[in-house]
Structure 1
Amino acid sequence: MFGEATVDGFDASTHVSGGDPGAPAPRRPFRKYFRETGWRHLVGIVMLVFAGFPLLYVLSASLNPGGTLLTANGLFRTLSLDSYVELFQNPSQPYAAWWVNSLVIGVATALGTVFLGALAAYSFSRMRFTGRRFGLLTLLLVQMFPQLLAFVAIFLLMSAIADIFPALGINTQIGLIMVYLGGALGVNTYLMYGFFNTVPASIDEAAKIDGAGHARIFFTIILRLVAPILAVVGLLSFLATFGEFVIASVLLIDPSRQTLAVGLYQFVSSQTQQNWSVFSAGAVLAAILPMALFLSIQRYIAGGLTAGAVK
């Protein structure tokens, strides 16, 4: 009986469903759709509008030659590139130099943070020594206090260093990079430590059998396996440094050595002359590079941030 049903082409699943298996599923009622998934789309649209409107407003203000934010209430009512041209024409406010300074300081800080953080994370993850757990916990607790709380102490410290080593004191980009590296080591080390623990220790043991030391294992094997977290830490460090204002405004005095955040503030800091249009144009140009970096390595971000939470 069952063999005859099979030969005749009888399909129990098709017969029960009452339709062609290749036919599309019936549409859900709107209330059921909205209750299950539709409300998520609505929340996503609201958040997209909430996040995108300030960007559109700044872009509209940069194309409005009026110079005030009040005249930019009508989005894209007036379109002009005068603010972008004016941005590069004032020698006392060298926007191009600010952009280069921010790029150099951001890249140097990101590379230094990745290198030092990876060394520390590898040591805490692979080596066993006295005070290892206490040192890791202390490093994390100390970094819970932001640099903003210590900018007075940082200023006094850099002033004292300038008397001995002028190249590392106040108004030097190298000194600013050193301050950034000291403040970014703790959290990034702890983040990398969790990712390093996901790499099997058997890889290190196999390399040691072949005669490789810790340095060779770290540079030739481990760094390649933890590339996602290196990209994440480098990106986060670069973005934080590229837009940092408080510490940079305290340590950098010469306009030719200032960063973008400090330099752009000059356009709106005066009580008698505030050019918000030029400020918005500078902000738009400053956001292009971070956005491009974020989009180019965003595939590493999710994996790099979540893989370290396995252990």
Structure 2
Amino acid sequence: MSKRKTRSVIRLTASYVVLVILAICSIYPALWIIMGAFRPGTALYSKTLIPKSLTLDHFRELFNSRIILFPQWYMNTLKVAIFSMLLGVLLTLLTSYALSRFRFRGRQNALSVLLVLGMFPGFMSMIAIFLLLKEMQLLDTHVALIMVYAAGAPLGMTLISKGFFDTIPRSLDEAARIDGASNFKIFTHIILPLARPILTYLALLQFVGPWGDFIFARLILRSKDKWTLAVGMWDMVSSNQNSNFTLFAAAAVLIAVPITILFMLMQRLLVDGLTSGASKG
């Protein structure tokens, strides 16, 4: 066997070993949480991965407990995530379409500002946002969460969606304008039908963000019946002296199921939207 072939085999073997190790590191914690959701008792620790007996008591407790308002938290999070997704995607699409198709003074500066602002973490502006919402009397409301989540969407996703719109031939716009179509009609009847991959990508990202956000929701929401899932689950563990981890695991499984299903069903469109949006800047 030649040296080149030996190096190729070693490199390929090392790649598979690294991939197997990464897969184990990714799957094992998730599998432990899933098994913990069906494990009797309150302790998440166990000598074996698979419990000797399985139970659904933790799932029943989530929906029957008067202290843990899990169904209410679930609906609150679903409402905030859906409306944030709709408004955030709309703002992102309009912003990216304007920056991609129109040429106006300050366009390059606007792109630079979006790029720079997108580099800063969102929690840096939380104090200012908190004071602003307090003056507007929007604290402890879901409207405040929806407004902030939706307004922040263009900062992180405009450049990617603009890159996707740049891949759509401008000749389609010009042909539509010759036929008398307005910019809004071109956007709704030509651009959006061709933008299904990036639309799926934006919708999933804008849905997942509010779905799992804890820091901002904990800062704004004060009433227990208005909490989202992240805030409620944090309180679920902290108020029980960090002992009821199997109940926490059951809630984590229920939270992860819809997101996992969405990613599995839309995986192809998600990848197409990401790769196409990154091909042009």
TM over 0.5, shorter chain? yes
Larger Rg belongs to: 1
Equivalent residue number for residue 48 of structure 2: 74
Equivalent residue number for residue 23 of structure 2: 48
2:233 is the counterpart of 1:259: no
| Counterpart amino acid of residue 118 in structure 2 | Q
Deviation of 1:273 after TM superposition, in Å, equals 5.8
Equivalent residue number for residue 36 of structure 2: 61
Deviation of 1:146 after TM superposition, in Å, equals 1.7
Equivalent residue number for residue 23 of structure 1: none
Deviation of 1:277 after TM superposition, in Å, equals 0.8
Identity %: 37
1:96 to 71, 74, 99: 71
Deviation of 1:85 after TM superposition, in Å, equals 1.1
Instruction: State the SS of the aligned residue for 2:180.
Output: coil
Whole-angstrom CA distance in 2 between matches of 1:148 and 1:274: 30
Whole-angstrom CA distance in 2 between matches of 1:309 and 1:288: 29
Equivalent residue number for residue 197 of structure 1: 166
Deviation of 1:31 after TM superposition, in Å, equals 5.5
Deviation of 1:140 after TM superposition, in Å, equals 2.2
The CA deviation string for residues 160-187 of structure 1, in whole angstroms up to 9 with x for no partner, is 110xxxxxx0111111100111222112
Instruction: State the SS of the aligned residue for 1:42.
Output: helix
The CA deviation string for residues 52-93 of structure 1, in whole angstroms up to 9 with x for no partner, is 0001111122112221223x3421224211111111121232
1:129 to 84, 104, 108: 104
Higher deviation after alignment, 218-227 or 32-41: 32-41
The CA deviation string for residues 187-225 of structure 1, in whole angstroms up to 9 with x for no partner, is 211111111101111100000000001000001110111
Equivalent residue number for residue 181 of structure 1: 150
Specify whether residues 33 and 134 from structure 1 end up closer, same or farther in structure 2 by C-alpha distance, changes over 3 A only: closer
Equivalent residue number for residue 212 of structure 1: 181
Higher deviation after alignment, 44-53 or 77-86: 77-86
Whole-angstrom CA distance in 2 between matches of 1:150 and 1:262: 20
Deviation of 1:143 after TM superposition, in Å, equals 2.5
Whole-angstrom CA distance in 1 between matches of 2:162 and 2:237: 42
| Counterpart amino acid of residue 294 in structure 1 | F
Whole-angstrom CA distance in 2 between matches of 1:211 and 1:199: 20
| Counterpart amino acid of residue 59 in structure 2 | Y
1:229 to 163, 176, 198: 198
Specify whether residues 73 and 242 from structure 1 end up closer, same or farther in structure 2 by C-alpha distance, changes over 3 A only: farther
Deviation of 1:262 after TM superposition, in Å, equals 0.7
The CA deviation string for residues 218-270 of structure 1, in whole angstroms up to 9 with x for no partner, is 01110111110110011111111110000011111112211111111112112
Equivalent residue number for residue 123 of structure 2: 148
Whole-angstrom CA distance in 2 between matches of 1:127 and 1:32: 52
| Counterpart amino acid of residue 233 in structure 1 | L
Whole-angstrom CA distance in 1 between matches of 2:189 and 2:30: 43
| Residues 93 and 255 in structure 1, CA contact (< 8 A), matched pair in contact too | no
The CA deviation string for residues 132-178 of structure 1, in whole angstroms up to 9 with x for no partner, is 1101211221222122122222221111110xxxxxx0111111100
The CA deviation string for residues 106-137 of structure 1, in whole angstroms up to 9 with x for no partner, is 11111212111010011001111110110121
Instruction: State the SS of the aligned residue for 1:133.
Output: helix
Instruction: State the SS of the aligned residue for 1:93.
Output: coil
Q: Higher RCO, 1 or 2 (CA under 8 Å, sep at least 6)? A: 2
Whole-angstrom CA distance in 2 between matches of 1:69 and 1:31: 46
Unaligned runs of 5+ in 1: 1-29, 163-168
* CA RMSD in angstroms, aligned pairs only: 1.7
Whole-angstrom CA distance in 2 between matches of 1:131 and 1:44: 46
Instruction: State the SS of the aligned residue for 1:202.
Output: helix
